[in-house]
Chains A and B, each alone.
Chain A
Amino acid sequence: MEKPRPLWDNPLQFIFACISYAVGLGNVWRFPYLCQMYGGGGFLIPYLIMLIVEGMPLLYLELAVGQHMRQGSIGAWKIISPYLSGVGIASVVVSFFLSMYYNVINAWAFWYLFHSFQDPLPWASCPLNSNHTDYDEECAQTSSTQYFWYRNTLNISPSIEEYGSIQWEQAICLILAWLVVYLCILRGTESTGKVVYVTASLPYLVLIIYLIRGLTLHGAVNGLIYMFTPKLEQLANPKTWINAATQIFFSLGLGFGSLIAFASYNEPNNNCERHAIIISLINSSTSIFASIVTFSIYGFKATFNYENCLSKVILLLTNVFDLEEGALTADNLDSMKNYLTSTYPNQYAELLPQIKNCSLEAELDTAVQGTGLAFIVYSEAIKNMEVSQLYSVLYFIMLLMLGIGSMLGNTAAILTPLTDSKFLSTHLPKEVISGIVCFINCIVGLVFTMEAGNYWFDIFNDYAATLSLLLIVLVETIAVCYVYGLRRFEKDLLLMLGHKPNWYWKIMWAFASPVLIISLLIFYLTDYIRTGTLQYQAWDATQVFILLITFDQL
């Protein structure tokens, strides 16, 4: 007697699970950066083209494979061809790498969330030095938010060789993050299916609140104008197209086996074609939506800093030249500066090194991505809002939901093949297998809580998944089209959905997507080979700027 395969309660759970997995931190912290770097509003053109050419076909392919084979990645590829079960194993290994380091981000989000309940926020002001005469030196040279991230949270060491000790605060946050993930995957689809209702919808609620708040902030429009003015000359840059393709590829989470795992819990006649289109469209529109929010926040932060800089210059000039209060304003500053240069040339020349040239473009130009954006830039903007505790709590809950949603997909990719295997599932119940996987990941993840942990995190983030995924998806596409046979696949889809796939899908699967992936692979390989020694950015506490160190000792 065999237990039937667990199923999603309804198709909505499946869609929410895929959205929760695909919409992750990358939509919030990577896409706005790419938009800014590669042509503003013009970046949407290559992005949407790649979505239609690469994203939707590959997503449809993976969902169809999972739904038809009704097994995790290892079992599914074994059915396609017994020689290809290595593809499934590769997916599981890459998912394992990802889940090792990805949950550390959730640990950081927990840390910031717990610290958001203080008034004032702990990253709003610098701590004092030992005799209380001035602010702490490291903090005074950078900013209180950067200090809180690099010193209080990470306690970062100057280089990757100096491991330091495990930070117990980060370690317990990591353990909590893994306990939360275990709680969500404990009962398989039964528990995951309920959790994804929350993890998929709550981020949108918070994003809408932030959109309203962001658009009503002073100076938000500056950021939006800056972002959306298209710089169409960037379209001629090949890097624009490559980054658009890469972003679509990784944002959908192809190749990890999570999509196959989720689809394997579907009813056999689920319309995965329609779902693939819906999921990829929702993923891309969330990226655009999140970048509107991010850029209004950028605009607010840049305008705030610009106006601070201006008022400092005005104060300095008013004091030195004994002018009336209100004689210098932001509008007449330039003309007054010219007047002062001509009237008091000597005094003005002495003062010149102290007068900073305040520029709004320079403030907006600081493009940031990754953890720097999420934990430094956003927290700096939040500390200047009214009711900052509330916005801070909302924001970090949103980050947590996004991160945990992606973790559910990752762990599903690892656990589904394990629970599918007869050997393990007869000897151990599902809860124990999940527990063991979470435990191993947690122990390995403690590496990232050491003082040099953030450098290891950067290595994993940049190199753990990129090339492997491109190769896996390439082999997947070739396997389905040429080894399994496109005609056989068509017949399977006819059986499942009731209609054969369009000529469009067939051309994309057989020609366009493999060519695109091969060109991406060639580009990345040549890039790695040409770069030579790899470099990483290190935080130097004594001089306090970010250094570039080479990896030669590794």
Chain B
Amino acid sequence: SGINRLREVQDQKISNVLLCNMTERVSFWFVVTDSARNVTTVPGSEVEAAIRMNRNRINSAFLLTDNTLQFLKISSTLSPPIEPTVPVWVIVFGVVLCLVVAAILFLVVSGIRQRKKNNNESAETGDLEDKCDTPVTTENGIPCDILDLKAGQINGVYAADDERFTPL
């Protein structure tokens, strides 16, 4: 019942408002006088230029926007999107590019170094075999450490089994 009474009061208020001389929109003309000389007015072109430059401040003074506050003869310009000095995408691209090139160089250089080490090692084992200083385990003429088969099987018979050795 409280709501109904409120609506009654509101309805009364609306119907008590009488309108006359309605225009399509709230509008007015204005001129700007020159404060130095009381009679003359500032020329229209100067006023237009000033409004164009300060459009944002005028809009916010009325709490309106370009769509709701219109100046005849001054077409509103749209605010351009903010563009940083260096485009963002170039920065991100540069970072990613540097990372990728660094990774490639690292892999290539480490691959070259690994290959040099392998060449040196095989040269060394070749020398050792000639000198017969240290016996290198070979299987079918290929040194075992170079083979390094992942699929190599551990022969269970030879696995260290403590129980088979007689304890001291």
Contact = CB atoms under 8 A, between A and B. Distances in A.
B111 A431 contact: yes
Interface stretch (B26-34, B94-102, B155-163): B94-102
Contacts of B80: 127-128, 132
A111 B88 CA distance: 11
Given A1-B146, A4-B149, A187-B111, A173 B104 contact: no
B97 A186 contact: no
Contacts of A133: 75-78
Contacts of A134: 78
B49 interface: no
B93 A172 contact: yes
A182 interface: yes
A187 B107 contact: yes
B77 A132 contact: yes
A489 B142 CA distance: 33
B40 to A, nearest CB: 32
A186 B104 contact: yes
B108 A267 contact: no
B88 A115 contact: yes
B104 A117 contact: no
A180 interface: yes
A448 B108 CA distance: 29
A114 B89 contact: yes
A133 B147 CA distance: 75
Interface string B27-66: 0000000000000000000000000000000000000000
Given A1-B146, A431-B108, A176 B78 contact: no
Interface residues of B, number: 27
A183 B147 contact: no
Chain A, interface size category, equals 20 to 34
B89 to A, nearest CB: 4
A176 B104 contact: no
Nearest to A124: B81
A28 B108 CA distance: 35
B117 interface: no
A132 B75 CA distance: 10
Contacts of A118: 88-89
Interface in B134-157: 142, 146-147, 149-151
B116 interface: no
Nearest to B80: A128
A179 B149 contact: no
Interface in A2-40: 4, 7
A6 to B, nearest CB: 10
Interface in A127-162: 127-128, 131-135
Contacts of B113: none
A238 interface: no
A134 B96 CA distance: 36
Contacts of B150: 7
Contacts of A1: 142, 146
Interface in B62-90: 75-78, 80-81, 88-90
A171 to B, nearest CB: 12
A135 B76 CA distance: 12
Contacts of A125: 81
A115 B115 CA distance: 41
A176 B96 contact: yes
B6 interface: no
Interface string A181-194: 01100110001000
Nearest to B93: A114
Contact of A191 (B75, B89, B92, B107): B107
B123 interface: no
Contacts of B76: 133
Given A132-B77, A179-B97, A117 B111 contact: no
A429 interface: yes
Nearest to A182: B104
Contacts of B77: 131-133
Nearest to A179: B100
Contact of A179 (B81, B101, B108, B147): B101
Contacts of B128: none
Nearest to A114: B89
B104 to A, nearest CB: 5
Nearest to B89: A114
Interface string A419-457: 000000000010100000000000000000000000000
Interface of B: 75-78, 80-81, 88-90, 92-93, 96-97, 100-101, 103-104, 107-108, 111, 115, 142, 146-147, 149-151
Top 9 closest A-B pairs, CB basis? Answer: A114-B89, A132-B77, A114-B92, A118-B88, A115-B89, A179-B100, A183-B104, A186-B107, A114-B93
22 contacts: A1-B146, A110-B93, A114-B88, A114-B90, A114-B92, A114-B96, A115-B88, A117-B89, A118-B89, A120-B81, A127-B81, A132-B80, A133-B78, A172-B93, A176-B96, A176-B100, A179-B101, A180-B100, A183-B100, A186-B107, A186-B108, A429-B115
